[in-house]
């Protein structure tokens, strides 16, 4: 059920500099869909339908990828001066309209709807000014660290480049899943300054400002370590594709589909496959292909996005098929 009190601000203005690409980062595909699509899906699964997307680099390419979808509002960040600055661009869009606002990153497609639900639930239950979801990982290099006080309560987020040697030993990290009471967020945004190694406005500084002003900030350990990975390189893109493909195949197998050799099989996240269908090795299924129950596909078959395979049908080895 949609909660009209809550909106999402999704940061999607980044370039693909380290990926050596002219494409906006968030339109690079994960298992057949732009990575941003998974973040939007997680918001909708958590009951948040109004999403304000902060776009910049080649903004029209991002907008065109999601043309016709309801609940999307586009906000331009003409120049990028950090995550705090990105959210500043949405201030007038959310002011006075929503009691609470999620802030998420568009380059984190491994986000799950149930994680966002857990974050929202903790935020609303505790009445906090801000709540963040954290994760504990083996190698925290590059991530902001969660600093807690002597009683274990949240104290601050310190970005990797600004950490002391002791803080770099902290393994609880910030995957950038946030929820704020809107009024408190807007007040704190006015106080952040670019006093850091990158000379940027860090959204993470908002949490320290709120703590120092006596506001309640909650940190819930809700993000599985595997879900922390965001995408900054082609290697990251390949790793996330592999993780997402594993999720897709696990979901299908749990629903009664036989996948003979998962490692040699590729299935789009939008494909529908009925129970008791067998997917043989070296099969590729793209887009929203529809396959009935009790079918046999391949090996070495390629089904395109408009393919429709009825119940009990067989697709011969080496076949390429579309609708």
Q: What are phi and psi of 302, to 5 degrees?
A: -130, 115
* 145-148 and 258-259 strand pairing: unpaired
Which residue, 46, 68, 64, 44, is CA-closest to 55? Answer: 64
18 catalytically annotated: yes
Q: What is the 3-state secondary structure (H, E, C) of 272-287?
A: EECCCCEECCCCEECC
3-state class (DSSP) for residue 180? strand
Q: Angle 248-37-9 (CA atoms, 0-180°, nearest 5)?
A: 135
3-state class (DSSP) for residue 106? coil
Which residue, 61, 48, 51, is CA-closest to 4? Answer: 48
Catalytic annotation, pick one of 5, 18, 97, 193: 18
3-state class (DSSP) for residue 225? helix
* 284-285 and 266-267 strand pairing: parallel
Residues 6 or more apart whose CB falls under 8 angstroms from that of 240 comprise: 30, 35, 109, 110, 229, 231
Residues recognised as catalytic: 18
């Amino acid at each position: 059920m949609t909660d009209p009190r809550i909106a999402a601000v999704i940061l999607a203005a980044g370039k693909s500099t380290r990926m050596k690409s002219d494409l906006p980062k968030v339109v690079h595909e994960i298992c057949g869909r732009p990575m941003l699509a998974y973040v939007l899906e997680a918001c909708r699964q958590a009951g948040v339908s109004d999403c304000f997307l902060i776009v910049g680099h080649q903004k029209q390419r991002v907008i065109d990828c999601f043309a016709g979808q309801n609940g999307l509002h586009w906000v331009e960040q003409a120049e990028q001066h950090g995550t705090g600055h990105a959210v500043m661009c949405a201030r007038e869009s959310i002011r006075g309209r929503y009691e609470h606002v999620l802030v998420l990153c568009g380059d984190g497609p491994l986000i799950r709807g149930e994680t966002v639900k857990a974050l929202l639930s903790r935020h609303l239950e505790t009445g906090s000014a801000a709540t963040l979801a954290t994760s504990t990982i083996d190698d925290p290099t590059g991530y902001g660290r969660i600093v807690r006080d002597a009683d274990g309560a949240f104290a601050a987020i310190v970005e990797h480049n600004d950490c002391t040697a002791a803080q770099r030993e902290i393994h609880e990290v910030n995957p950038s899943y946030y929820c704020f009471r809107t009024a408190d967020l807007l007040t704190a945004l006015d106080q952040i300054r670019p006093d850091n190694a990158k000379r940027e406005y860090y959204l993470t500084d908002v949490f320290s400002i709120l703590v120092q002003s006596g506001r309640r900030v909650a940190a819930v350990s809700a993000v599985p370590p595997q879900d922390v990975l965001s995408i900054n390189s082609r290697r990251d893109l390949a790793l996330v594709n592999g993780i997402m493909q594993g999720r897709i195949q696990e979901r299908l197998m749990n629903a009664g589909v036989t996948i003979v050799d998962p490692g040699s099989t590729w299935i789009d996240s939008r494909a529908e496959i009925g129970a008791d269908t067998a997917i043989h090795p070296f099969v590729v299924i793209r887009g929203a292909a529809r396959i009935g129950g009790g079918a046999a596909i391949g090996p070495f078959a390629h089904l395109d996005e408009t393919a429709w395979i009825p119940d009990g049908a067989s697709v011969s080895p080496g076949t390429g098929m579309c609708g």
